[in-house]
């Protein structure tokens, strides 16, 4: 677990989580290995992930057949940043890990939004410091960067546009948004992760958001990853071995 926090954040309810979305691509040579070697590598990989429970929350997703540049993703959440590095080193040392590349990895933290002020309800997006993901079949993830002009606007102007943004989101209750913050930690400013059992509802939500005024201040919101939640053994089985 993490070391002691400053006085204003040390209480359990105010602890902020580190969040990592790490994507893996398997070398096709792995699929040509003997079956027993592939099984051994998968068992080793699973054992390493399990060894970090319950201190770290790890939710696996498959992207096989959806994207060509990555095969699966681990959504990792911990109070200790070092956990991500330690786990990764151990995963890469497994017989499966020796055949894995990491085309993408995004680091962020939880933080309460400055725009969620009115009509706050329990577990509303923007009020949570503790994420509880993994309850939906699909996950849509992308890094997000706003223009510098956005930050030169007054708080009142930004709040008005975000109110519209929030109102649009409320029209799609089947889509759950998780916003995490990367300022100074990674290249992007935010990583947004939308959970849903209805991909078509997410598509409609994104189309609606394109009409919102705040979208004028979007600098970058790609690449976008459509991920399917499965148990880790199932995810590894989708690799073709």
12-109+232-237 fold? Alpha-Beta Plaits (3.30.70)
Using an 8 Å Cβ cutoff, are 129 and 111 in contact?
A: yes
pLDDT band at 128 (very low <50, low <70, confident <90, very high): low
Average pLDDT over residues 105-131: 72
How do residues 61-77 score in pLDDT, each as one tens digit?
999 999 999 999 999 99
Residue span(s) of the chain under CATH 3.30.70.1030 come to 12-109+232-237, 138-227
Chain-centroid distance, C-alpha 68: 19
* Terminal Cα distance for the chain, rounded: 35
**HEC states along 72-126?**
EEEEEEECCCHHHHHHHHHHHCCCCHHHEEEEEEEEEECCCCCCCCCCCCCCCCC
- What is the CB-side half-sphere exposure of residue 109 using CA atoms within 13 A? 14
Query: What mean pLDDT value characterizes the chain?
Result: 91
The pair of structure tokens assigned to 102 is: 């990491």
- In what helix (H) or strand (E) does residue 18 lie, and over which residues does it extend? strand 18-26
Using an 8 Å Cβ cutoff, are 18 and 81 in contact?
A: yes
Determine the Cα–Cα distance for residues 102 and 107; give it in Å rounded to an integer.
Answer: 13
3-state secondary structure of 194: strand
Determine the Cα–Cα distance for residues 33 and 209; give it in Å rounded to an integer.
Answer: 46
pLDDT of residue 127: 55
pLDDT of residue 70: 98
CATH number of the structural domain 138-227? 3.30.70.1030
pLDDT band at 13 (very low <50, low <70, confident <90, very high): low
pLDDT of residue 12: 53
Average pLDDT over residues 151-179: 95
Determine the Cα–Cα distance for residues 190 and 178; give it in Å rounded to an integer.
Answer: 10
Chain-centroid distance, C-alpha 106: 8
The pair of structure tokens assigned to 195 is: 């959970």
């Amino acid at each position: 677990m993490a070391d002691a926090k400053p006085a204003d954040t040390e209480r359990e309810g105010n602890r902020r989580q580190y969040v990592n979305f790490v994507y893996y691509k398997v070398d096709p040579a792995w699929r040509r290995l003997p079956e027993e070697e592939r099984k051994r590598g998968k068992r080793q990989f699973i054992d390493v992930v399990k060894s970090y429970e319950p201190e770290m929350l790890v939710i696996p997703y498959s992207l096989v057949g959806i994207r060509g540049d990555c095969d699966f993703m681990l959504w990792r959440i911990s109070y200790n940043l070092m956990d991500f590095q330690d786990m990764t080193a151990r995963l890469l040392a497994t017989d499966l890990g020796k055949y894995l590349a990491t085309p993408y990895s995004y680091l962020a933290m939880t933080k309460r939004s400055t725009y969620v002020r009115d009509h706050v309800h329990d577990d509303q997006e923007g009020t949570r410091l503790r994420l509880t993901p993994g309850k939906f079949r699909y996950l849509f993830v992308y890094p997000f960067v706003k223009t510098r002009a956005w930050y030169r606007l007054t708080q009142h102007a930004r709040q008005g546009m975000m109110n519209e943004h929030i109102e649009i989101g409320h029209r799609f209750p089947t889509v759950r948004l998780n916003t995490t913050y990367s300022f100074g930690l990674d290249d992007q400013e935010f990583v947004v992760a939308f959970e849903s059992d209805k991909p078509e509802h997410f598509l409609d939500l994104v189309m609606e958001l394109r009409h919102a005024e705040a979208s004028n201040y979007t600098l970058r919101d790609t690449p976008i990853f459509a991920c399917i939640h499965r148990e880790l053994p199932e995810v590894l089985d989708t690799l073709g071995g």
